[in-house]
Chains A and B, each alone.
Chain A
Amino acid sequence: MSVENAPVVDVDEAAIPVEKKMYYRFESNDKKEFRVSELAIQQSETLNRLVEAMGYTSEDVENKPAIAIENIDGKTLKLVFQWCEHHKGEAIPVDDGSVPKIVEIPEFDAKLMDIDNGLLFKLIWAADYLNIVQLLNVSCKKVANMAQGKTPAQLRRVYLLPSDEEDEAAKRAAQEAQDPRAREVEEEFEERKRQGGNSFF
């Protein structure tokens, strides 16, 4: 580096604040492209670390291929990035593994999550994968709210879960060896079923 080149370096440094505002390009597994602001990306610990590690300049962002997120489809990723843009700059709760006792779902989030269960579960999965703590909190809270006051049979219907009976044939042998208590519960369930058959109201 010669002395003459020093001013050029200065110019580059002056350009850094511009880079701070740059938009990264991401691509879902079904090849949908998204442009996301750097500040919004900070909500996702995973993506934030990724872009930091990549050290892209604003030129790189335009010239290099979009960053592929292989595990998430476009529909889900759109929701994720909408959420991140709306909540950009907000403090990120510390994730110590425990769930905060009270989670309020803001109006924007409630509207965003007014989606079918399948997509909601994908959103939860994506929030976890991308490590977006607050999105994970509100989406889990939303699913929990759906469960309130429901019986096991209703839960199976709401969440489209197979009952153990339906799942039985494939898993029976393995489960019994591993979990003797599960068998008890199953017996209790059978017992309840029998008794339920005799009940009137």
Chain B
Amino acid sequence: MSNPQEKALPPELSQAKEDVKEETKSTDSHMPSLLNRNSPNTASTSESATQLLLPMEHKEPKIIIVDPDVANILTLGSTSLTSSLSCGFYDKTVKLAAQMFGLGIQKKSKCIEQEKPKRLDELPDKLINRIVDHLDLEDRIKFRRVCKRFHALIIISYDSIIISCNDGKAMLKLDNLKIFYIQDLKALELETVENANYRRAIEALKSMLLLPNLTLKNFTVHFQDRKRSNWAANLLLDFLKSQDASLSVNQLAIGGLKMEQIYQFLQYFLPGVLKSIRLRLEKPITEDAEYKEILRKISALEQWKQSSDISMNDMDGIQNI
């Protein structure tokens, strides 16, 4: 009765104790890029990349973003820039600028000097989840990207996805969270059918559609780029085909796809679940025989027949994005 240890210890406890014991050691081995940041001989992956990517002729005050997560700050609309100037990011930008202009760095960051860190990832899953439960969708998505364990651990959900590609820029909207892909492209890329912004948005969309047990109230695909809509739509279709997708979506809106693509696209949705289809067609309905044939094929689809609300050239929902 007098021994408090007789209370059963959770299994992770003994593990955690070992972690604490090894704390000093593991800190050293896990943290080289943070602790040795100011040492000229050691550089983290992205920093060595920086050095490679910074030719000497850069005299004009142009800053190259090497770290995609740094770039992300500018593309995520609601992220405040002040918070981005904290801690490591500040260090990184200062160091970047210094490398570009050949300056040495005297300043030491306070957050790096923090002693004996017990890291967040030493907490068990349930506690990580308790923390993340306080976060909104945007922060959860970013939290998931921190490492594979968090990705598997952190649950996200959303009712609505909108992807919109227009004028070389793309936007993804998850519920109320807008994610912009608006990097300026090289002159060369402006001419090609391929577009890095569209590609990145579609890549991100793919991972969003892969969420297990996903059911969407709204799914809107809107490509408003004559030159690239076809390519973008095929990128998406190839993915759906490779996944043998059958998406659970209540309301679907499609803009900028060819009739043949719409026909393929619709087949990746669960008939019956799909209640509403809104189409914005590329060209007005004509008497063209080929066009009639594809229309006939579309209207024969179960997805089409079981939808109670079908409208064409009505993209009111999209215009309001």
**Chain A residues at the B interface, C-beta cutoff of 8 Å:** 46, 49-50, 53-55, 64, 67-71, 98-99, 103, 116-119, 121-122, 124-125, 128-129, 136, 140-141, 143-145, 147-167, 175, 179, 181-182, 184-186, 188-189, 191-193, 195-201
Contacts and interface: CB of A to CB of B under 8 A. Distances in A.
Contacts of A198: 186, 196
Nearest to A186: B148
Nearest to A116: B114
A160 B119 contact: yes
B192 interface: no
A182 to B, nearest CB: 4
A-B CB proximity, top 8 nearest? A157-B88, A196-B68, A144-B134, A153-B69, A99-B133, A152-B145, A118-B118, A182-B148
B51 to A, nearest CB: 12
A177 to B, nearest CB: 13
B285 interface: no
A153 B142 CA distance: 9
21 contacts: A46-B7, A50-B7, A118-B115, A118-B116, A118-B117, A148-B135, A149-B83, A153-B70, A153-B88, A154-B86, A154-B88, A158-B87, A159-B120, A163-B146, A179-B152, A182-B151, A182-B152, A188-B204, A198-B186, A199-B184, A201-B65
Interface string B234-269: 000000000000000000000000000000000000
B291 interface: no
A154 B69 contact: yes
Given A54-B2, A148-B135, A155 B146 contact: yes
Given A50-B7, A195-B200, 4 more contacts: A49-B7, A116-B115, A152-B145, A159-B146
B101 interface: no
A55 B1 contact: yes
Given A136-B130, A153-B67, A201-B74, A166 B30 contact: yes
Interface of B: 1-2, 4-5, 7, 9-10, 13, 16-17, 30-34, 45-46, 49, 53, 62-74, 76, 78-80, 83-84, 86-89, 111, 114-124, 126-127, 130-135, 139, 142-148, 151-152, 183-184, 186, 196, 200, 203-204, 207, 210
Contacts, number: 218
B104 to A, nearest CB: 22
A166 B63 contact: no
A158 B127 contact: no
B95 to A, nearest CB: 13
Nearest to A65: B2
Contact of B84 (A64, A128, A151): A151
Contacts of B130: 99, 136, 140
Contacts of A117: 114, 117-118, 120
Contact of A160 (B76, B120, B131, B183): B120
B17 to A, nearest CB: 7
A192 B200 contact: yes
B123 A124 contact: yes
A181 B203 contact: no
A151 B120 contact: no
Interface centre among B7, B30, B134 (most CB of A within 10 A): B134
A53 B143 CA distance: 41
Nearest to A157: B88
A188 B86 CA distance: 26
A162 B146 CA distance: 9
A158 B111 contact: yes
B65 A199 contact: yes
Nearest to A102: B134
B141 to A, nearest CB: 9
Nearest to A136: B130
Given A54-B1, A151-B142, A199 B71 contact: yes
A141 B127 CA distance: 11
A170 to B, nearest CB: 10
